[in-house]
Amino acid sequence: MATRVFTLLTARKPASGGDESLTLSLKELLPDEGGEVVIHNHANTDVTVLTDDAVTERGVEHNHVTRAGYDVSGFAYCRFAGGITVFYPRSHSLCATEAEAEETV
């Protein structure tokens, strides 16, 4: 089984002294009642989301407020096969790769 790796890349220049990055599992993210998660990323670090779910839809939301009350108008989004939609700033780019899961014997 392949694990999909989705990295939201900021437009920041790498800081001297090493890369700063935050890695999360899609299963760790807590969606609101509508199945939506918003990544604001005020820290301006790259965010990596690991999942076995495929992306079923992606785009830019034109006019939407989540059930948790966040206005995500103008945010980019990815909807995953498991039903979760992740919104993120359009100033970030999404890089998707697949990594083979390590088999344990």
| Confidence band, pLDDT 50/70/90 cuts, at residue 103 | very low
Enter the pTM of the model. 0.77
**What integer pLDDT is reported at residue 102 of this predicted model?**
46
Contact 22, 46 (CB under 8 A): yes
- Is the pLDDT confidence value at 60 over 90? yes
| Confidence band, pLDDT 50/70/90 cuts, at residue 99 | low
Q: List the chain domain ranges.
A: 2-100
